[in-house]
Amino acid sequence: MASEDEINLLVIVVDVNPIWWGQQAQRDPQFTLSKCMDAVMVMGNAHMAMARTNKLAVIASHCQGSHFLYPSKSWSGEDGGGNDVSSSGDGKYELLSAANNLIVEEIRNIMSKIEVTGNSTDTLLAGSLAKALCYIHRLTKELEVGQEIKSRILVVKAAEDCALQYMNFMNVIFAAQKQNILIDACVLDSDSGLLQQACDITGGLYMKIPQKVALAQYLLWVFLPDSEQRSQLVLPPPAHVDYRAACFCHRNLIEIGYVCSVCLSIFCNFSPICTTCETAFKIQLPQIVKPKKKKLKQPM
Amino acid sequence: MDEEPERAKRWEGGYERTCCVSSFPGLLWNMFHPQGGVCVFSHGQVRLGMMRHVYVVIDCSRSMEDQDLKPNRLTSTLKLMEVFVDEYFDQNPISQVGIITTKNKRAEKLTDLAGNPKKHITALKKAVDTVCVGEPSLYNSLNLAIQTLKHMPGHTSREILIILSSLTTCDPANIYELIKTLKSLKVRVSVIGLSAEVRVCTVLTRETGGSYHVILDESHFKELLMLHIKPPPASSSSECSLIRMGFPQHTIASVTDQDAKPSFSMSHLDSSSGPGLSLGGYLCPQCHATYTELPVECKVCGLTLVSAPHLARSFHHLFPLQAFVESPVENLQGDRFCQACQAELKDKSMFSCPSCHSVFCVECDLFIHESLHCCPCCIYCQTVP
């Protein structure tokens, strides 16, 4: 059993890309953004109900920014800790309903304020994950003496990956690994290589949901238990992560490649100049033996 | 002796680099995402030595039993070395470290050059029991390090870090000749002194282009050690080449698979705990030998095996994050909240990113520059045309 002083923080990052959700509502009217947010709120409430000291944060991530749905800046300043609530019954219910109302209001604000420019259906998760890490870092610093905090991030991803964020994403993953923060991923539509790597490196769970309408069930079954309890449960097996690199010239996945020692770009074939940093490479040439000049035979 | 005060001033002022440093052309680089895609970044100014071979020489002479560092110098040094090894492999995943100890006028290798931190840490833990006796030998330890370093390929950076606590050294031959050899082999030697400045170390580090510091206390010792974790600027004479590397696939097979065949992991063949049969692992693309961990150099065919994230770990050295601009909080109109952690800005100063002008608090600024290496709000600005 976790001690009373151990705080369990769950940060849920929800992908609310409006273009993807709009297309999704047309494809399948049964599963819309509001259904998804309902499932997320069920998950959040369940997490907060597991223990008195559990904390929750929800971030919405879309193509132009990421926004904290809960706890919100405009709230009265009480954190989702419940440390000063004496009676468990009524206090917890108020806390949960307050959280739900806040989330609903904030998401409504965001979706009405978004100006959709272009039709990018990608998700820029790196920024939201970075904000989540900063928030976790802040809460860790604000702990009282004797309290410990264990944090994890759950990503609910809808749209496809955006390749532009590879570097930032990897930096965020390494920072999370260093701070011992798990990153779990619940993918609704298309597989995401970046999230697979994130889950593998940080030790979290990656799952692509077969049926979107049952999102709440999957969230509660797979992602609600924390890392200690997961060892005692039979959970979906880890996905096979492809760690092969793609060459910079053709973008093919290669198993053996050549790496520039200066800028670490990867090539599939040997070339005398690195195309990224334009350094000329020293090539070990075999000794060239000058052929002996033979006298041409005069035609008779 | 006239030159001594000048040298002392220059040494106190920080380390000087006698190697020249070249810069990249000022272009925006197009960096391909290893799994397909394009990222655009601005360039770094300096070429860095990404693949490093570092030998750490630890002095185990009588002076290490001195108790000015608690509990004694040797224990304190070994503990800090464990931290150093962990951080080093975190920041330089494709580099290698080896440890040499010197005492009784001789030098011996504690661990060979290897890319696996566990071996070094076990050896360091065992070394706490060594008896500190005799005098160190700078010549012998440098010679021992050179024996291996001179065979390393030219594009890697060859470094030796000496932790010297004794004020004397016992050398069998002229150390100035050895310094000339070190210079010709392009080995960079740095020294961390635990007692006081020693002239031969000053000459050694100046000639080879390394740094020489003497510690003030334990926290200063840690700071100085951590300075050596960042990759050093590569000298213009170091060769650049294409290194052939393999990117193995990770196979996870279960007992119920019909094709699953158990195999010995090559990395454990040398260990005394006995080879373990395993069903999965990383298969070398050239010879199909199995390994449990990366990065590793294949024992069968000699190919360096890494995974794409290992290379990605070094990217933040090549593309460092710009420093944020500090300004007083009063300048900010409207809500005063840090855009990363949502805390109210209570301090007098705030930090803003020069590219996206988002505002951060002091804590987030520190966290972003030390651990995250990327601005949480800049990514959105990159997509706006």
What ipTM did this prediction achieve?
0.80
Helices (H), A72-123: 88-113
User: How many domains does chain A fold into?
Assistant: 2
A193 shares a domain with A63? yes
Among the residue ranges A216-220, B35-39, B261-265, B351-355, the one predicted with the least confidence is B35-39
| CA dist., res. A265 & res. A173, Å (int) | 20
Inter-chain CB proximity B340 and A131 less than 8 Å: yes
**CB-based contact, B292 to chain A, within 8 Å:** no
Q: Does the pLDDT at position A220 exceed 70?
A: yes
Residue A9 class from Cβ within 10 Å (0-12 exposed, 13-18 middle, 19+ buried)?
buried
Please indicate, yes or no, whether residues A34 and A101 belong to a single structural domain of this protein: yes
User: Does residue A210 have a cis bond before it (omega within 30 degrees)?
Assistant: no
**pLDDT (average), residues B111-116:** 86
Please give the pLDDT value at position A92: 53
Q: How far is B353 from chain A (nearest CA, A)?
A: 14
How far apart are the CA of A239 and the nearest CA of chain B, in angstroms?
9
Residue A221: exposed, middle, or buried by beta-carbon count in 10 A (0-12, 13-18, 19+)? middle
Q: Which of A65, A167, A256 sits opposite B315 (nearest CB)?
A: A167
- Domain contains A298: no
Q: Do A137 and B364 touch (CB under 8 A)?
A: yes
Residue predicted with more confidence, B180 or A270: B180
Q: Is A149 helix (H, G, I), strand (E, B) or coil?
A: strand
Cα–Cα nearest to A135, from A220, A91, A73, A201: A73
**B29 vs chain A: nearest CA distance in angstroms?**
7
Residue B216 is classified by DSSP as S
| A136 and A256 inside one domain | no
Tell me the C-alpha distance between A58 and A69, whole Å: 5
Higher confidence at residue B378 or residue B97? B97
Better-scored residue on pLDDT, B280 or A198: A198
Pairwise pLDDT comparison (B273 vs B100), residue with the higher score: B100
Domain span at A31: 4-73+90-229
Q: What is the pLDDT of residue A183?
A: 93
**Residues forming beta bridges with residue A65, ordered by sequence position:** A62
Q: What pLDDT digit, counting tens, does each position of B314-338 carry?
A: 777 777 888 888 888 777 777 778 8
- What is d(CA A240, CA A114) in angstroms, rounded to the nearest whole number? 36
In a domain, A294, yes or no: no
Residue among A141, A161, A258 whose CB faces B243 most closely: A258
Judged by CB atoms closer than 8 Å, whether chains meet at B371 and A73 is answered as: no
Q: Which residue reads 């012998």 in tokens?
A: B140
- The confidence score (pLDDT) of residue A286 equals 62
pLDDT tens string A93-124: 677 888 888 888 888 888 888 777 766 667 77
Asked if residue A152 is part of any domain, the answer here is yes
Residues B248-274 have pLDDT tens digits of 887 766 555 555 566 666 665 555 445
CA A68 – CA B339 distance, rounded (Å):
10
> Shortest Cα distance from A2 to chain B (angstroms)?
27
The pLDDT value given to residue B214: 93
**What is the rounded average pLDDT for all residues in chain A?**
80
Q: Is the pLDDT of residue A50 over 50?
A: yes
Contact (CB, 8 A) for B152 and B98: no
Most B CBs within 10 A among A160, A170, A261, A285, hence the mutation to make, goes to: A261
Tell me, yes or no, if B29 comes closer than 8 A to chain A by beta carbon.
yes
**Residues of B whose CB is below 8 A from A195:** none
Q: In chain B, at which residue ranges do the beta strands (DSSP E only) sit?
A: 29-32, 38-41, 52-59, 96-103, 106-114, 157-164, 187-193, 212-214, 242-246, 250-251, 263-264, 277-278, 281-283, 290-291, 296-297, 304-305, 325-328, 349-352, 359-360
Query: Residue B140 in contact with residue B114, Cβ under 8 Å?
Result: no
| pLDDT value at B40 more than 90 | no
- Rounded-to-integer distance, Cα B130 and Cα A144, Å: 41
- pLDDT exceeds 90 at position B161: yes
Residue A152 and residue A184 in contact, taking contact as beta carbons nearer than 8 Å: yes
Is B37 in CB contact (< 8 Å) with chain A?
A: yes
Q: Which two tokens stand for residue A104?
A: 């609903």
- Write the CB contacts of A187 (distance below 8 Å, at least 6 apart in sequence): A157, A195, A206, A207, A208, A209
Q: Is A259 a domain residue? A: yes
Whether the Cβ atoms of residue A152 and residue A186 lie closer than 8 Å to each other: no
What is the pLDDT, as a whole number, of residue B42?
Answer: 34
Inter-chain CB proximity A274 and B36 less than 8 Å: no
> Whole-angstrom Cα distance, residue A159 to residue B339?
24
Residues in Cβ contact with A274 at an 8 Å cutoff, skipping those fewer than 6 apart: A260, A262, A263, A265, A267, A281, B240, B242
pLDDT grade for B57, boundaries at 50, 70 and 90? very high
pLDDT at B24 over 70: no
What pLDDT score does A42 carry?
92
**Number of residue pairs across A and B with CB atoms under 8 Å?**
222
Cα–Cα distance for residue pair A138/A207, rounded to 1 Å: 29
Which of A145-171 are b and which e, b meaning 16 or more Cβ less than 10 Å from the residue's Cβ?
Answer: eeeebbbbbbbbbbbbbbbbbbbbbbb
- Report yes or no: B43 and B27 within 8 Å, Cβ to Cβ: yes
Average pLDDT, stretch A288-292? Answer: 62
| pLDDT confidence tier of residue B36, bands split at 50, 70 and 90 | very low
Output the domain CATH number for residue A200: 3.40.50.410
**Whether the Cβ atoms of residue B17 and residue B209 lie closer than 8 Å to each other:** yes
Give tens-digit pLDDT for A57-73. Answer: 999 988 778 888 888 76
Best of A17, A76, A166, A191 to disrupt the B interface (most B CBs within 10 Å) is: A166
Residues A158 and A189 grouped into a single domain: yes
Mutate to test the interface with A, among B31, B46, B374, B382 (most CBs of A within 10 A): B374
Nearest to B46, CA basis, from B237, B277, B318, B281:
B318
pLDDT classification of A291: cutoffs 50, 70, 90: low
A217 and A249, same domain (yes or no)? no
**SS3 of A239, please?**
coil
Q: Quick one: CA dihedral A65, A69, A71, A72, positive or negative? A: positive
> Do residues A142 and A79 lie in contact, with contact meaning Cβ atoms separated by under 8 Å?
no
What does the pLDDT read at residue B206? 92
CA distance A160 to chain B (A): 13
Note whether A133 and A111 are same-domain residues: yes
Report the pLDDT value the prediction gives residue A283, as an integer from 0 to 100: 64
Q: What digits encode the pLDDT tens for the residues A136-161?
A: 999 888 888 888 889 999 999 988 87
Residues A255 and A109 in one domain: no
Chain A residues whose CB is inside 8 A of the B47 CB are 262
d(CA A192, CA A162) in angstroms, rounded, equals 10
Determine the distance in angstroms separating the CA of A54 from the nearest CA of chain B, rounded to an integer.
Answer: 18
The reported pLDDT for the residue numbered B31 is 41
> Is residue A14 situated within a structural domain?
yes
Q: Which residue of A has its CA nearest to B31?
A: A276
- Pick from B21, B28, B29, B33 the residue to mutate for testing the A interface (most A CBs within 10 Å): B33
B93 touches chain A (CB under 8 A): no
| B379 → closest Cβ in A127, A244, A280 | A127
Q: What is the mean pLDDT of chain B?
A: 78
Residue A220 lies in a domain: yes
Q: Which of B376, B371, B311 lies closest to B338 in space, CA to CA?
A: B376
**How would you classify the pairing of strands A122-123 and A160-161?**
parallel
Average pLDDT over residues B54-78: 90
Q: Which residues of B touch A172 (CB under 8 A)?
A: 372, 374
For residues A197-223, average pLDDT: 90
Q: How far apart are the C-alpha atoms of A134 and A130, rounded to whole Å?
A: 6
- A30 and A119 in a single domain? The answer is yes
Average pLDDT over residues A285-297: 61
Query: What is the per-residue pLDDT for A197?
Result: 87
Q: Is A62 helix (H, G, I), strand (E, B) or coil?
A: strand
Contact check, Cβ <8 Å, B363/A138: yes
- What are the tens digits of pLDDT across the range B76-99? 999 999 999 998 988 888 889 999
Cα(B14)–Cα(A77) distance, rounded to whole angstroms?
47
A194 in a domain, yes or no? yes
> Do A15 and A136 sit in the same domain of this protein?
yes
Q: Is residue A235 part of a domain?
A: no
Q: B373: alpha, beta or left, given left = phi > 0 and alpha = psi -120 to 50?
A: left
Q: Which chain B residues have a beta carbon less than 8 Å from that of A240?
A: 250, 252
> Is residue A223's pLDDT more than 80?
yes
> Would you call A134 and B368 a contact, using CB atoms and an 8 Å cutoff?
yes
Q: Are residues A134 and A159 in the same domain?
A: yes
- In a 13 Å sphere around the CA of A254, the CA atoms on its Cβ side amount to 21
When comparing pLDDT for B232 and A61, which is higher?
A61
Does pLDDT of A215 surpass 50? yes
Per-residue pLDDT, averaged over A38-51, amounts to 91
Give residue B309's pLDDT. 82
- In contact, B303 and B245? CB cutoff 8 Å: yes
Which residues in chain A touch residue B285, judged by CB atoms under 8 angstroms apart? 255-256
DSSP annotation of A151: E
What would the DSSP string read from start to end of B127-185? GGG----S---HHHHHHHHHHHHTTS-TTSEEEEEEEE--S----SS-HHHHHHHHHHT
Indicate the residue type of B138: L
pLDDT over 70 at B64, yes or no = yes
| Chain A partners within 8 Å of B50 (Cβ) | 261-262, 264
Contact residues, chain A, for B342 at CB < 8 Å: 68, 71, 73, 135, 138
pLDDT bucket at B7, cuts 50 / 70 / 90: very low
Nearest to A133 by CA among A192, A78, A183, A67: A183
Residues A184 and A265 in one domain: no
SS3 per residue for B318-335 = HCCCCCCEEEEHHHCCCC
Q: A114 CA to chain B: closest CA distance, Å?
A: 14
Question: What confidence tens digit (pLDDT) does each residue in A177-189 have?
Answer: 989 999 999 999 8
Answer positive or negative: Cα dihedral of A188, A191, A197, A201: positive
Cβ-based neighbours of B34, under 8 Å, separated by 6 or more: A166, A245, A246, A266, B308, B311, B312
| Pair A115, A155 in one domain | yes
Res B312: pLDDT: 81
